Amino acid sequence: MTTETKLLRSEQEVEAYGIRLGREARPGQVIALTGDLGAGKTTLTKAIARGLGISETVTSPTFTIVKEYRSGRLPLFHFDVYRIGDVEEMYELGYEEYFFGDGVCVVEWADLIDELIPEDALRISIAYGQNEEERIYTCTY
């Protein structure tokens, strides 16, 4: 396992990084995002979608747990598990079909379902930096 720390100085740098992740994403990849409200999990997800060539507008799936986007190079399954009461709910929605399927899964608040995140996932923990736009990414893969 490798851990890297990255300093992202602006929202533009975050977008560029997300677009690259989307371009390089492979089928079955899980990207697990952790970080406080406003850290930029949804912002990064939107950029990943752009990198995948998704033309639909990506919005936060807070009330649905998962949203699917199929207009890009690979399907994107965007999870936001913030409101999940119990890990059991993930089984009820058939998360395995998503996590071990041929699309790309991005999970916001992944720490809440940590036990379900596959070993080979890319984990990104987002912390605030020195100013409003700066973010510190700790990436483990």
Ligand X SMILES: Nc1ncnc2c1ncn2[C@@H]1O[C@H](COP(=O)(O)OP(=O)(O)O)[C@@H](O)[C@H]1O
Contact residues for ligand X, defined by CB under 6 A: 8, 10-11, 14, 35, 37-43, 108, 133, 135
- Are 82 and 62 in contact by the 8 Å Cβ rule? The answer is yes
Q: Parallel, antiparallel, or unpaired: how do β-strands 3-8 and 135-140 relate?
A: antiparallel
35 binds, among Mg ion, ligand X, none (CB under 5 to 8 A by kind): ligand X
Reading the block at residue 50, the tokens are 């752009």
Cβ-closest residue to Mg ion?
Answer: 42
- Block residue for tokens 């850290």: 39
Nearest CB to ligand X, comparing residues 88 and 132: 132
Task: CB nearer to ligand X: give 67 or 135.
Answer: 135
**Binding region for Mg ion (CB under 5 A) out of 2-10, 20-28, 49-57, 100-108:** 100-108
Query: In sequence order, what are the residues at sequence separation of 6 or more whose Cβ sits closer than 8 angstroms to the Cβ of residue 57?
Result: none
Q: Which is nearer to Mg ion, 62 or 138 (CB)?
A: 62
Q: Are 80 and 61 in contact (CB under 8 A)?
A: yes
Residues that bind Mg ion (CB under 5 A): 41-42, 60, 108
